Amino acid sequence: MSTAPPTRSPGRTQTSSTSAVHSGRLAVYLQPPELSVAEFTAARLDGEVFAFEDGYCSVDEPDTVRLRAAVLTRLSGLDGATIAETSAAWLHGAALVAPRIHTGFVTPDRRSRRVARVQLRQVSLRPDDSEPCGPLRVTTPTRTVADLARRTGADAEPALATIRNYFLLGLTSPEEVVAWVRSVPRVLGGSRILRVVSGATEVMLPGLEPTAGELASWSLPLSRR
């Protein structure tokens, strides 16, 4: 965390938010009313924080899984839910932009409630379909790809792009998704999942295959820390 003296704008005194940044007291992710809107604005103008989702974080904080998880833990509607679909893809780093509405899977016996920016779906997950991510649980990359592959209409093309990112980043593989579909009988949308996975791994024309260096350069700038 930076300890250099803050840059002050003419005629404006240092705010407590700027002091918090430099003293190391700034949390990974903050929202009003933890600091006032005026304090956040002043710290942002001083180059000490930047806007991230519905809050702010220090400029010293990289875009990591930890930061994205901190955002999701602030959404009360996701308490006890398993982060899923496009929200899981964002948390994994296969999607650069967070969905406006976050999705969580809950057990069929849980009563859902309406919460801003949250959509809860009653879904039964296999024991190995989710994994811990700090204080959260998230669907595994393989399960997330299967869920995204079921999307149709206007959501199908963005889902396909995200699935390709999963494969390019090595978070899961087409073989793992196919094995997941075939591991139990009558998977919902199983045939579609197999078709979409096949479409996401089409063989390139001769001479257009990416080199190992090119594949590495396509990796999304998200630390898995």
Identity at 173, one-letter amino acid code: S
Q: What pLDDT, in 10s, does the model give residues 184-195?
A: 888 989 999 999
* pLDDT at position 217 over 70: no
Non-local (6+) Cβ contacts of 150 within 8 A are 188, 189, 192, 193
Domain residue spans of the chain: 16-61, 68-217
Q: What pLDDT, in 10s, does the model give residues 45-58?
A: 776 776 667 677 77
Provide the mean pLDDT of the chain. Answer: 77
Distance CA 144, CA 88 (A): 7
β-strands 49-52, 55-58: how paired?
antiparallel
129 compared with 23, residue with greater pLDDT: 129
- Using DSSP's 3-state secondary structure scheme, residue 49 falls into strand
Taking residues 62-80, what's their average pLDDT?
83
pTM: 0.71
